[in-house]
């Protein structure tokens, strides 16, 4: 029995020595940081460019020269693993100082009370009006009293078209300003049955269910038809409205009318992007990063030598019956509450989100647009015809409602239901694609979303109160505007 | 390390100390074990490892399945509100629950996927094991090369096969239709009912070398004398295979069936990568239990419900293991 007690005592000794060494290390770290006054900030970013850490470090150079006491350690997370890592960091408190958040994530992470309020910084940099229209909803989510992140980079998806195809068929950019004209133009291309450089050219291409952009691709067509997924404040569902169905039907009519090879529906964005480069697609929607890729030589990982790159133009997507409303995504930068250096972190955040050179420089690296409006007044954007289109795109952007249950709606319901729609049109002969079947899928999805919203509002009566007050404020604004116009 | 982290670490370490203490006391108290006391002490590091890697997460998942752990309560983690069997009700009986979106399809697909992949990898592994068990030149190089699929990471398998299954440009349809003319037209592997085969075949391709390796080891353990006696009795090749090889390899079949079923029910990487690199949807013919639970429970941050679904699956698997033991237990000991 003596041996047993000895063994147990040894184990307890081991455990306590681990604690002692842990707290010793902590104290040592504190002393060291006090001694040197050096601050090391950690920032988590996604692979926004081909050399993510290297590219951001280059952007940071002027900041580091100006702030010699600050060092920045850039850590790159894969998009697939980022969600788990960020939520774990938010839960455990073992987090970096700054973090890149996909726009639709800000609300949920804010709801976890893990982010530092940035109201003072937001005010200092000019608030909502300083950033691209629509992005502020992500910076200050619907149910948050505080600004918890600042917009950093913007994802908009212009229309890339083949200039040579348009020329051959006789299509001008004015012809594709609206849905009707766009459809007619695609039909013209189809009729022309073009084969250029040995490649048969399809009028349009977009991916189906095996892609990560299904919801972002379809949403603008729903909005432009006057429909929506959920209302602005996220309290009611519009996915089963007739306008939404109209938008979906218009989008899938490209397949139904034979304007797009059905096989494209089994591909993803990356695969179809290559189809455009190889000269097999005449019109194609993709984020602005495509522009950087098309202008990069192949030895640097670009596609400047391809048919697509040699003949491409960029235009605004066609406007629907409800106007031109485009997808607005991207990423914000936030500071975790657990940071030990809030002031330095804010300095860095301010630099990355509002320094014009940093914003333009990062666009040149990753191809995602600056979120800071002033950057678009730079000759870099005003003097170039393609970049002028990008600038114009930001004026038509629409954000998803920034509510904490959006991620669930997008992943668990919309990805699945839109995936079902694409699988249905892929497997059904074109003449048998039925509006009623599509409506049923949308109806089922809408009911699922209703359950999600009802559950949230039941569990959080304060959310309902906030929505009511926001609606009242909006109503007052409308009335005040109407009164001013009358006067 | 943060304060919360230290609290968790201390909790884990104290549990381990308690378990080790109980273990040591138990080893010392039982008369029978005294004879092999030293052996039990040698087993201690393994038991500690198993506890850390398996038992603690399982206990945590079971506890979590009784808690309301979701986006609002995630920061409380294991101290989130206790909700009893509510999460189990959500999974089993509430048709409107978010976890139920496509769950029945996922169960159907997972059943067929696990059965067919397990059978496929064993049958294919057996055929190749019989071939490489014969004497021929370059046998050891062939055996090494045949292990190639086993070293390819599963997410790479999913990603690459996603390209190979493409209807027009995919190499599989090109071989089947354009070169061999085995089919009248190119099938659509990534949409519709064939999707299940599009995930079954790459999984068999990835895992059959393990089956081959284990069956080959089993084959080499069978004494040549047994086959020679059968030759003397006039048995043909088929009779030798059926009456000697198959029964004597039963312990290997047993292990392969067990590993195959467990591994394939929990399969995730190949499917998630093949359909949109984690962001797409495998469709109602390709969605498996793990991808379904991941999407519905974990992305939506319903960790409590996700834990309940996982515990239910674990119970089903335990029942399967008990059935497996009833069937194969005897052959393992003999």
CA–CA min distance A211, chain B (Å): 4
Q: Who contacts A205 (Cβ-Cβ below 8 Å, separation ≥6)?
A: A260, A261, A264, A272, A275, A276, A280, A281, A283, A284
Interchain pair B192, A112: CB under 8 A: no
Query: pLDDT above 90 covers what percent of chain B?
Result: 62
Q: Chain A residues with CB inside 8 Å of B5's CB?
A: 92-94
Which DSSP string corresponds to B77-133? GGGSPB-TTHHHHHHHT-TTSGGGTTHHHHHHHHHHHHHHHHHHHHHHHHHHHHHHT
pLDDT value at residue A32:
47
Tell whether A444 lies on the interface with B, counting CB pairs under 8 A.
no
Instruction: pLDDT band for A31, please (50, 70, 90 cuts).
Output: very low
Interchain pair B10, A15: CB under 8 A: yes
A115: β partners: A336
Tell whether B176 lies on the interface with A, counting CB pairs under 8 A.
no
Q: Chain A residues with CB inside 8 Å of B24's CB?
A: 4, 7-8
Interchain pair A212, B278: CB under 8 A: yes
Q: What is the mean pLDDT of residues A237-249?
A: 97
Return d(Cα A174, Cα A11) in angstroms, integer: 79
Q: What is the mean pLDDT of residues B116-145?
A: 92
Interchain pair A411, B300: CB under 8 A: yes
pLDDT tens, residue by residue, A356-369: 999 999 999 999 99
Interchain pair B283, A420: CB under 8 A: yes
Q: Would you say the CATH fold of A159-327+403-458 matches that of A38-155+329-398?
A: yes
Q: What is the mean pLDDT of residues A135-164?
A: 96
Q: For residue B258, give the H/E element and its range.
A: helix B250-265
* Beta pairing, strands A195-196 & A70-76: unpaired
What is the number of other CB atoms lying within 10 angstroms of the CB of residue B200?
20
A227 near A438, Cβ under 8 Å?
Answer: no
Alpha-helical (H) ranges within A37-105 are 52-66, 79-92
Least confident segment among A140-154, A333-347, A426-440, B320-334: B320-334
Burial of A221: CB neighbours in 10 Å, binned 0-12, 13-18, 19+: buried
Comparing CA positions, the residue from A387, A349, A286 lying closest to residue A151 is A349
Interchain pair B295, A93: CB under 8 A: no
Tell whether B281 lies on the interface with A, counting CB pairs under 8 A.
yes
Interchain pair B71, A83: CB under 8 A: no
Q: Chain B residues with CB inside 8 Å of A93's CB?
A: 2, 4-5
Interchain pair B281, A7: CB under 8 A: no
Q: Chain A residues with CB inside 8 Å of B196's CB?
A: none
Interchain pair B74, A112: CB under 8 A: yes
Q: Chain A residues with CB inside 8 Å of B162's CB?
A: 210
pLDDT value at residue B32:
65
Return d(Cα A333, Cα A352) in angstroms, integer: 9
Return d(Cα B52, Cα B65) in angstroms, integer: 20
Query: pLDDT above 90 covers what percent of chain A?
Result: 77
∠ CA A14-A20-A22, nearest 5°, is 105
Burial of A68: CB neighbours in 10 Å, binned 0-12, 13-18, 19+: exposed
Return d(Cα A273, Cα A286) in angstroms, integer: 8
Query: What is the rounded (10 degree) CA torsion for B147, B148, B149, B151?
Result: 90
Interchain pair A423, B71: CB under 8 A: no
Least confident segment among A352-366, B221-235, B271-285: B271-285
Q: Which of A408, A418, A444 to mutate to test the interface with B (most CBs of B within 10 A)?
A: A408
- Surface of B (231-260) touching A: CB under 8 A: none
Return d(Cα B180, Cα B175) in angstroms, integer: 6
B70: β partners: B302
Phi-psi domain of B153 (left: phi exceeds 0; alpha: psi -120 through 50; beta: other): beta
Burial of A418: CB neighbours in 10 Å, binned 0-12, 13-18, 19+: buried
Estimate to the nearest angstrom the gap between the alpha carbon of B124 and the chain centroid. 18
Beta strands in A237-374 (DSSP E): 281-285, 312-315, 326-327, 329-335, 369-370
**b/e burial code for range B122-148 (CB count within 10 A of at least 16 → b):** bebbbebbeebbeeeeeeeeebeebee
CA atoms within 13 Å, Cβ hemisphere of B182 = 8
Comparing CA positions, the residue from A405, A416, A400 lying closest to residue A452 is A405
Q: Chain B residues with CB inside 8 Å of A265's CB?
A: 191
Instruction: pLDDT band for B210, please (50, 70, 90 cuts).
Output: very high
Tell whether B188 lies on the interface with A, counting CB pairs under 8 A.
yes
When CB atoms are compared, the residue of B5, B14, B167 closest to A263 is B167
Tell whether A346 lies on the interface with B, counting CB pairs under 8 A.
no
Domain ranges in chain B are 1-57, 98-333
When CB atoms are compared, the residue of A22, A92, A413 closest to B4 is A92
pLDDT value at residue A131:
97
What is the number of other CB atoms lying within 10 angstroms of the CB of residue A455?
16
> How many residues does the structure list for chain B?
334
When CB atoms are compared, the residue of B10, B77, B296 closest to A91 is B77
Interchain pair B279, A412: CB under 8 A: no
pLDDT value at residue A377:
96
Return d(Cα A26, Cα A226) in angstroms, integer: 57
Q: What is the mean pLDDT of residues B239-251?
A: 92
Tell whether A265 lies on the interface with B, counting CB pairs under 8 A.
yes
Q: What is the mean pLDDT of residues B123-127?
A: 95
One-letter-per-residue 3-state SS of B140-187: HHHHHHHCHHHHCCHHHHHHHHHHHCCCCCCHHHHHHHHHCCCCCCCC
Mean pLDDT score across all residues of chain B:
88
Q: Chain A residues with CB inside 8 Å of B28's CB?
A: 1, 4
Q: Which of B86, B90, B162, B281 to mutate to test the interface with A (most CBs of A within 10 A)?
A: B281
What's the fold here for domain A38-155+329-398? D-Maltodextrin-Binding Protein; domain 2 (3.40.190)
Judge whether residue B24 has pLDDT over 50.
yes
pLDDT value at residue A33:
46
Interchain pair A92, B102: CB under 8 A: no
A445 near A417, Cβ under 8 Å?
Answer: yes
What is the number of other CB atoms lying within 10 angstroms of the CB of residue A397?
21
Q: Who contacts B92 (Cβ-Cβ below 8 Å, separation ≥6)?
A: B312
> How many residues does the structure list for chain A?
487
Judge whether residue A10 has pLDDT over 70.
no
The residue with tokens 């078209």 is A161
Query: What phi, psi does B87 have (nearest 5°)?
Result: -65, -35
Question: Which residue in chain B is spatially nearest to A27 when comparing CA positions?
Answer: B1
Interchain pair B72, A459: CB under 8 A: yes
CA–CA min distance A275, chain B (Å): 12
DSSP A316: P
Interchain pair B299, A419: CB under 8 A: no
Comparing CA positions, the residue from A178, A469, A422 lying closest to residue B283 is A422
DSSP A433: -
Q: Chain A residues with CB inside 8 Å of B302's CB?
A: 408
Q: Options 1.10.3720.10, 3.40.190.10, 3.90.550.10, 3.40.50.300; which CATH number does B98-333 get?
A: 1.10.3720.10
CA–CA min distance A93, chain B (Å): 7
Comparing CA positions, the residue from B167, B276, B149 lying closest to residue A212 is B276
- Surface of A (9-48) touching B: CB under 8 A: 11-12, 15, 18-19, 22, 26
Tell whether B79 lies on the interface with A, counting CB pairs under 8 A.
no
Tell whether A478 lies on the interface with B, counting CB pairs under 8 A.
no
Q: What is the mean pLDDT of residues A212-226?
A: 94
- Surface of B (153-172) touching A: CB under 8 A: 162-163, 166-168
Least confident segment among A97-111, A254-268, A464-478, B223-237: A464-478
What's the fold here for domain A159-327+403-458? D-Maltodextrin-Binding Protein; domain 2 (3.40.190)
A323 near A96, Cβ under 8 Å?
Answer: no
Domain ranges in chain A are 38-155+329-398, 159-327+403-458
Q: How far apart are the first and last CA of chain A?
A: 96
CA–CA min distance B306, chain A (Å): 13
A162: β partners: A312
Query: pLDDT above 70 covers what percent of chain A?
Result: 92
Give, in order, the Cα–Cα distances in Å from B27 to each of B38, B49, B50. Answer: 10, 18, 18
A357 three-class SS: helix
Q: What is the mean pLDDT of residues A27-49?
A: 74
pLDDT tens, residue by residue, A373-389: 999 999 999 999 999 99
The residue with tokens 């090889």 is B245
Judge whether residue A13 has pLDDT over 70.
no
Interchain pair B167, A419: CB under 8 A: no
pLDDT value at residue B79:
86
ipTM, two decimals, is 0.81
Return d(Cα B21, Cα B15) in angstroms, integer: 10
CA atoms within 13 Å, Cβ hemisphere of B192 = 12
* Beta pairing, strands A149-155 & A98-102: unpaired
pLDDT tens, residue by residue, B47-72: 888 877 888 888 899 999 999 998 88
Return d(Cα B217, Cα B129) in angstroms, integer: 9
A38 near A69, Cβ under 8 Å?
Answer: yes
Q: For residue A443, give the H/E element and its range.
A: helix A435-459
Mean pLDDT score across all residues of chain A:
91
pLDDT value at residue B329:
83
Judge whether residue A27 has pLDDT over 60.
no
Helix axis angle for A356-366 and A52-66, nearest 10°, is: 170
Least confident segment among A252-256, A404-408, A479-483, B198-202: A479-483
- Surface of B (11-30) touching A: CB under 8 A: 13-14, 17, 20-21, 24-25, 28
């Amino acid at each position: 029995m003596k041996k047993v007690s000895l063994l147990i005592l040894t184990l307890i000794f081991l455990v306590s020595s681990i604690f002692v060494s842990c707290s010793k290390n902590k104290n040592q770290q504190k002393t060291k940081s006090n001694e040197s006054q050096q601050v090391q900030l950690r920032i988590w970013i996604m692979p926004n460019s081909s050399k993510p850490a290297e590219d951001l470090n280059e952007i940071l150079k002027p900041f580091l020269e100006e702030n010699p006491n600050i060092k920045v350690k850039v850590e790159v997370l894969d998009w697939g693993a980022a969600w788990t890592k960020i939520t774990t960091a938010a839960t455990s408190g073992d987090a970096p100082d700054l973090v890149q958040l996909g726009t639709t994530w800000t609300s949920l992470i804010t709801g976890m009370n893990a982010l530092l309020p940035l109201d003072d910084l937001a005010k200092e940099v000019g608030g909502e009006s300083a950033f691209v229209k629509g992005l502020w909803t992500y910076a200050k989510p619907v149910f948050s009293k505080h600004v918890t992140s600042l917009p950093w980079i913007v994802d908009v998806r212009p229309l890339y078209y083949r200039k040579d195809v348009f020329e051959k068929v006789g299509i001008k950019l004015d012809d594709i300003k609206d849905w009707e004209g766009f459809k007619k133009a695609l039909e013209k291309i189809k009729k022309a049955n073009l084969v250029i450089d040995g490649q048969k050219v399809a009028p349009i291409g977009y991916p189906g269910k095996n892609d990560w952009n299904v919801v972002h691709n379809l949403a603008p067509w729903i909005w432009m038809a006057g429909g929506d997924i959920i209302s602005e404040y996220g309290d009611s569902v519009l996915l089963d409205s007739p306008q939404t169905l109209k938008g979906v039907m218009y989008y899938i009519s490209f397949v139904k009318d034979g304007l797009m090879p059905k096989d494209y529906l089994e591909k993803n964005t990356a695969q179809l992007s290559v189809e455009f480069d190889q000269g097999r697609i005449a019109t194609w929607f993709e984020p602005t990063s495509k522009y950087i890729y098309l202008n990069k030589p192949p030895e640097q990982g670009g596609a400047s030598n391809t048919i697509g790159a040699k003949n491409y133009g960029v235009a605004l997507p066609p406007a629907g019956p409800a106007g031109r409303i485009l997808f607005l995504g991207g990423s914000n930068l936030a500071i975790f509450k657990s940071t030990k250096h809030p002031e330095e972190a804010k300095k860095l955040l301010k630099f990355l989100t509002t320094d014009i050179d940093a914003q333009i420089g990062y666009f040149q690296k990753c191809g995602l647009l600056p979120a800071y409006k002033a950057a678009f007044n730079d000759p870099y954007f005003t003097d170039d015809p393609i970049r002028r289109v990008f600038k114009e795109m930001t004026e038509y952007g629409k954000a998803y409602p920034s509510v904490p249950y959006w991620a669930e709606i997008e992943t668990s319901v919309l990805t699945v239901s839109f995936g079902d729609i694409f699988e249905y049109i892929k497997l059904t002969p074109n003449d048998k694609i039925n509006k009623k079947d599509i409506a049923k899928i949308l109806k089922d999805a809408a009911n699922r979303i209703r359950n999600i919203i009802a559950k949230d509002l039941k569990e959080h009566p304060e959310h309902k109160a906030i929505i009511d007050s926001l609606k009242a404020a909006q109503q007052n604004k409308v009335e005040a505007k109407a009164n001013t116009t009358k006067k | 390390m943060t304060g919360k982290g230290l609290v968790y670490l201390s909790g884990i370490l104290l549990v381990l100390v308690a378990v080790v203490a109980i273990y040591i006391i138990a080893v010392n108290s039982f008369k029978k074990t005294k004879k092999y006391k030293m052996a039990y002490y040698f087993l201690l590091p393994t038991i500690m490892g198993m506890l850390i890697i398996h038992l603690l997460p399982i206990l945590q998942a079971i506890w979590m399945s009784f808690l309301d752990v979701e986006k609002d309560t995630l920061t409380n983690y294991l101290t989130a509100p206790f909700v009893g069997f509510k999460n189990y009700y959500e999974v089993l009986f509430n048709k409107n629950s978010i976890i139920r979106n496509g769950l029945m399809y996922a169960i159907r697909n997972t059943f067929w996927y696990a059965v067919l992949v397990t059978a496929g990898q064993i049958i294919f592994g057996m055929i190749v094991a019989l071939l490489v068990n014969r004497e021929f030149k370059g046998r050891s190089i062939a055996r090494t090369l045949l292990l190639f699929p086993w070293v390819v990471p599963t997410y790479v398998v999913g990603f690459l096969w996603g390209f190979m299954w493409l209807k027009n440009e995919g190499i599989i349809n090109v071989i089947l239709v354009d070169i061999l003319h085995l089919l009248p037209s190119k099938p659509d592997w990534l949409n519709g009912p064939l999707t299940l085969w599009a995930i079954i075949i790459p999984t068999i391709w990835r895992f059959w070398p393990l089956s081959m390796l284990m069956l080959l080891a089993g084959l080499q353990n069978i004494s040549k004398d047994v086959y020679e006696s059968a030759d003397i009795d006039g048995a043909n090749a088929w009779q030798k295979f059926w009456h000697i090889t198959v029964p004597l390899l039963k312990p290997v079949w047993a292990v392969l069936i067990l590993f195959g079923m467990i591994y394939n029910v929990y399969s995730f990487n190949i499917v998630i990568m093949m359909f949109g690199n984690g962001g797409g949807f495998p469709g109602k013919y390709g969605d498996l239990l793990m991808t379904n639970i991941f999407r519905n429970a974990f992305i939506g941050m319903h960790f409590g419900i996700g834990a309940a679904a996982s515990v239910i699956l674990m119970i089903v698997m335990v029942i399967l293991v008990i059935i497996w033991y009833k069937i194969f237990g005897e052959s393992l000991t003999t």
